[in-house]
Structures are given as C-alpha cells and as structure tokens.
Amino acid sequence: MHKKRKRPEIRFAGHETEWIEKKFDDTFDMLSNNTLSRDALNYDGGVAKNVHYGDVLVKFGEYLDVNREQLPYINDATVAQKFFKSYLKDGDIVIADTAEDESVGKCTEVVGVGGTPIISGLHTIPCRPKQKYAPKYMGYYLNSNAYHDRLLPLMQGVKVTSISKTGIKETDVILSDEFEEQAKIGEFLSSLDDMIASEVSKYKKLIIVKMSLMDKMFPKNGSNVPEVRFNGFANPWKQCTVGEILVERNEQLPKSNEYPLMAFVANEGVAPKGDRYDRSFLVNDNENKAYKRTEFGDFIYSSNNLETGSIGLNKYGKASLSPVYSIFEPTENTDSDFIGRMLIRKEFINEMVKWRQGVVYGQWRIHESDFLKINVFVPKIEEQRKIGNFLDSLDNLITFHQCRLEKLRNIKSSCMDKMFV
C-alpha cells in the first residue's frame, strides 16, 4: 500500500520533522450557525455581525480580518442572544457547505475579532481548533488543493453542490506540529496576498483613470473640443465622416507564409486562429481560397455583432482574414491608434445604433456604406498622435500590472500546492 507523504515539497530551513495526520473531527469542534437569509441582515447596526456563506465563497480570502472587512449585522437581537455560545473567536474556521460548483468547502479563518460579536450564518459550518495554531495557517491549509481534493468525493448535488458535517468530520488533515513553522507559512502566504491586493488596487485605479481620461479627452455630444487637452492645442476639432478618415483595402489573395490566416476576435482585433475560430476544414480548396489581406494599423469591420466588438484594430501585422469582413486603412492625416480609441467609445457606438437594421437583438447589423456615413470629430494629426501615444502608454502600464498580478497569483498557487501535504 502506498504510504502517504507527510513532508511538504517546499519547507522553511530548520524544519524537517514529519507532519501529523489525524481526523478532522479530532482537530476541530463544530459550532452552531444561524440560518438567516440576506434580507434578515443589514449594514447599519445590530447586536452581532454575521458571516454569510456567499461572502465566504466570493468575497473573503483564506482569512477574514474583521477589522478590514465590512460584515453585515443581524436584525433580530434574539438571534444574537440565542447563539451567544457560538460567537466566533480568532482562529475559528467558517466553511461554506453549499455552492453551485466544486468551490463548496471553501473556507475562511477569522482573525482580528477582539470583542466583536460575530456569528456564522446560513449554509456555513463554523469550526474551532482543539489546539492553538499559528494565525492564518489553518485558513491557508484548508483552502489548499492538498485538503480540498479530499472533499471532492464527498460532494453531492447537481445544480447545487453541498457537503455534510459528517463527511467533513471523517476527512484526514495533515498538519505541521511546529507552531513556528505554521507561523512562517501563514506569514509568507499572507505577505503574498498583501502584494496581490496591492497590484489589484493599482490595476483598478489605472482602469478608472483610463475610463475618466477617455471620457474627457474626446468631445462630448454637442461639442467640438474635449475637456482635457495637451498643451499647445486649442483649435476646435473638425467634423467629418468615417469615410473621410478610413479607406477600404480590398486585396483578396490566397493565404501565404507572409500573410497567415488569422481570426478577428471581438475586443481584441486580429488574433491567431484557435480551434474555436478555425473553419478552414469546411473549405474544399483551402490553398487557393481568396482571403482579404490586412496590414498593421488597419481596421477590421464586421457589419454584424453590433455593440459586441464589430470594430477592431490590427496590431498584429500582415495577415489574411475571412472575406466576410471589411478592411479599412487610415488616410494620410489619420493616426490609427487615435481612431481605434474613438471607434470603440460609447458615444460612437450610440451613433452606430442609429443606423442599425433588423428587429432581433444579436442580429442587428450596420451595412458598411452606412458605417462610413457616421459623423465624427477629429483633431489635427499631431494631436491625434499625442492622444494615441498617451493612451497606449497607459495601456502598457495597465498590462504591466496585469502581468505582475498574474505572476503573483501563479506564485501563490504554486506555493499553496507545494507548502502543504
């Protein structure tokens, strides 16, 4: 019989002893929880606070810092009194016993309780360790794949998945018996969470800044000048039609190594063909089929998919696309980055909607000839380039923080897999 590994793959220096395996029921006592729905809670005030299972699944991480998170209050004071003996303490675990997927069993460790009366709520299983563990250690362990995988065979239900107290009690836990090692693990993983939270905050702030600037750097309806401009530009923007700034490119030739067959993806533009978009197997003579050629900086237009990405900028380069799309190149005094921003703004989409045809949402379309008639305001090419370059640099900064965030999350995920048994 295969012997269970009782040492994690990654450990802090100075810790070499095997971890201890025992039953969940020998590790925790289960407390009582209330069954109050959301409408029995409020955020204004009450005798005790409540931990709802929906927040455990979606809002809270491996630990719930009562001093940082806003918890709802219980409306009924008698309920608070009834569960007085089950008020949560630091180190207690709240498990969500119901979910719509395999996230059932997700839990959070409560920290920073102090004298705040808190009760575990609907569809939760509150648990109290029978011995003292280092802060946050147990929250990370019980949310790791090492433990959560043990819950998968115990889950029941189709549309709604649940797990029973009896099932959880019989699961095995494998834990470090050294408080110092527990503390190092908890502190290290929580420091990663702090870094992740910092990156999330930076990313969200940059998105808000971009949205605000996009709103102010283009003229609002009824105006020919934007609210925010670069120094040295004061002239009103010129009104023209889309057809005056974009010219159709209609070069149809077979795909080649220089012009590989690509896909047009909503909100992305030109992108490599994945299995989802590849329909070449339906073409009898794929080698000689004529495709439309596009160059870097071109605009791809689909008369369908209104409001869901019908316009895209080619930032890939030389490519072949399906002939169902219209391809436009910017005129000599037009900056593609600037036009790309302008054509996806809500104000422009609202103008497009006026030209739509069809009665069923999702089947609306705007013919190419009508698209070219839409009026827009554009500044001189120098200001266009300033705006395009500035917004590009902002996008690059957003992408940088996105990448950092993804890397940190991957590091945490890997550590969670390798620091527990």
pLDDT of the residue at 358: 66
How would you classify the pairing of strands 98-99 and 124-129? unpaired
Residue 5, pLDDT > 60, answer yes
| Of 237, 238, 245, the residue nearest 330 (C-alpha) | 245
Residue 348, pLDDT > 60, answer yes
Say which CATH topology domain 179-233+380-421 has: Helix Hairpins (1.10.287)
Say which CATH topology domain 238-378 has: Adenine-n6-DNA-methyltransferase TaqI; Chain A, domain 2 (3.90.220)
How would you classify the pairing of strands 118-120 and 319-321? unpaired
Q: What is the mean pLDDT of residues 74-85?
A: 92
Q: For residue 75, count other CB atoms closer than 10 A to its CB.
A: 17
- Hey, is 176 helix, strand or coil? coil
Q: What is the mean pLDDT of residues 302-315?
A: 74
pLDDT of the residue at 367: 81
Q: In this predicted model, what pLDDT tens digit does every residue of 257-296 receive, in sequence order?
A: 999 999 998 767 898 876 554 555 444 455 678 999 999 9
pLDDT of the residue at 195: 98
Residue scoring higher pLDDT (282 or 63):
63
pLDDT of the residue at 360: 57
Amino acid at 9: E
- CATH 3.40.50.2000 fits domain 20-175: no
Q: What is the mean pLDDT of the chain?
A: 91
Q: What is the mean pLDDT of residues 1-26?
A: 88
* Of the listed ranges 62-71, 301-310, 351-360, 361-370, the one predicted with least confidence: 301-310
Angle between helices 179-216 and 381-418 (to 10 degrees): 160
Provide the percentage of residues in the chain whose pLDDT is more than 70.
93
Only one residue has tokens 């025992």, namely 22
Residue scoring higher pLDDT (131 or 304):
131
Within 207-353, strands assigned E span 238-241, 246-248, 252-253, 262-265, 269-272, 291-294, 299-301, 311-313, 319-321, 326-330
For the chain, give every domain's residue range.
20-175, 179-233+380-421, 238-378
CA distance 221 to 233: 20
Q: In this predicted model, what pLDDT tens digit does every residue of 161-187 receive, in sequence order?
A: 999 999 999 999 999 999 999 999 999
CA distance 7 to 299: 56
Instruction: Establish whether domains 20-175 and 238-378 are of one fold.
Output: yes
